Amino acid sequence: MTASIDTGLARARRGLAPGGPGRPARNRASRLTSQTTRTFFWLILPSVLLLLLINGYPLVYAAIQATHNGSLIDAGDFVGFDNFTSVLTSAAFWKATGFTLVFTVVGVFGSWAVGLGLALLLRTKIPAGAFFKVLLLLPWVVPIVVSSTAWNWLVATPDSPVPALFRTLGLGTPLFLANPTLAAVMVCIFKVWVSFPFMMMMSSSALASVDNTVYEAASVDGATKWQQFTGITLPITARSTYISWILMTIFCVNDFPTIYLLTGGGPVDATTSLVIYAYRVVFQNFQTGPGVAVAFIMTLTLVVVSAILYRQIRKSSVE
């Protein structure tokens, strides 16, 4: 029975009728002539050169700053990799790294789970589905300054609505932004709140390409809703999922305003991420070298993670 369901799910993913023979469509790549290839090359060359100029100069200058002990106005003396050594042996750096890891994991997978769930819900026939989709986009559309101000009003002080509600229910008066643990939790929840609409739109776009007859074929073969979700929905949307994970990982690691506007990195550095840490080192301590070194470490980490997820994108083909 299980083998029959698995076979049915495989046929359904390929868009075949239950029990019927299938002729999966195959994309045939067209061969470009040498003339067309040269034309494309000369057309994209100016854009490539412009991108290299715009991004190359800041990168080279940042590399110079990372290997010198200067300030914002003076490059200083060459110190080699001493800035990287001092950063990697700093307890503050590793504390910021730990919070960045938690913040990124919760931000990526939390927003993806909420976004995918809502995308599946909106795929069903619910009244005013288009209207609700627009409303669900508001956390992403509203400026982060407005959202952070609203959340501060909700939880910042003992007299804010949420602590007052806890006090009314006899649960005490939690200080959500004064307690280190609660502050970290609130920042992560806030990140999921402002990010799930993006994940919802990515998931909705991927699900839109799946015909309902695919699920009907799987149902005829006896697949349960959970088996359809794990055997059809997740594999078919895998490419879009990995792309959204890459983008959201970059968004989370580089997210400065979400944290800074809500907690400023406090209390006692409990919500200080790497980007907040780099900002403080450069613009508050005026140590350009170590701050830029932190930025290079962040960039290298993002490149590695993106490369790993990109390999998964290439592997996630539905058979």
Q: In 159-266, which ranges are continuous DSSP H helix?
A: 161-168, 180-208, 212-220, 225-228, 234-236, 238-253, 257-262
Confidence of residue 274 (pLDDT cuts 50, 70, 90): very high
Q: What is the mean pLDDT of residues 25-33?
A: 51
Check whether domain 90-315 has CATH 1.10.3720.10, yes or no: yes
pLDDT at 14 over 80: no
Q: What is the mean pLDDT of residues 123-146?
A: 83
Q: Which of 144, 127, 256, 137 is nearest to 202 (CA)?
A: 137
Confidence of residue 2 (pLDDT cuts 50, 70, 90): low
Q: What is the mean pLDDT of residues 264-289?
A: 91
Which pLDDT value is given to residue 315? 72
User: Are the beta carbons of 265 and 175 closer than 8 angstroms?
Assistant: no
Confidence of residue 278 (pLDDT cuts 50, 70, 90): very high
Which pLDDT value is given to residue 3? 55
DSSP 8-state class, residue 232 = I
Q: CA 315 to CA 122: how far, in whole Å?
A: 29
pLDDT at 117 over 50: yes
Q: What tokens appear for 155 in the block?
A: 């939880």
Which pLDDT value is given to residue 38? 80
Mean pLDDT rounded to a whole number for the chain: 84
Instruction: Report the percentage of the chain scoring pLDDT > 70.
Output: 88
Confidence of residue 27 (pLDDT cuts 50, 70, 90): very low
Q: What is the mean pLDDT of residues 172-184?
A: 89
CA distances from 75 to 68, 79, 196, 202, 299 (A): 6, 11, 42, 43, 21
| Cβ atoms < 10 Å from Cβ of 57 | 10
Question: CA 229, 233, 236: angle at the middle one, nearest 5?
Answer: 150
pLDDT at 29 over 50: no
Which pLDDT value is given to residue 71? 80
Domain boundaries, the chain: 90-315
Which pLDDT value is given to residue 22? 47
pLDDT (tens digit, 9 = 90+) per residue, 223-234? 788 888 888 888
pLDDT at 247 over 60: yes
Which pLDDT value is given to residue 261? 92
Instruction: Report the percentage of the chain scoring pLDDT > 90.
Output: 34
User: Are the beta carbons of 214 and 12 closer than 8 angstroms?
Assistant: yes
Which pLDDT value is given to residue 28? 46
* The pTM of the whole model exceeds 0.75: yes
H or E element in which residue 130 lies: helix 129-136
Which pLDDT value is given to residue 55? 81
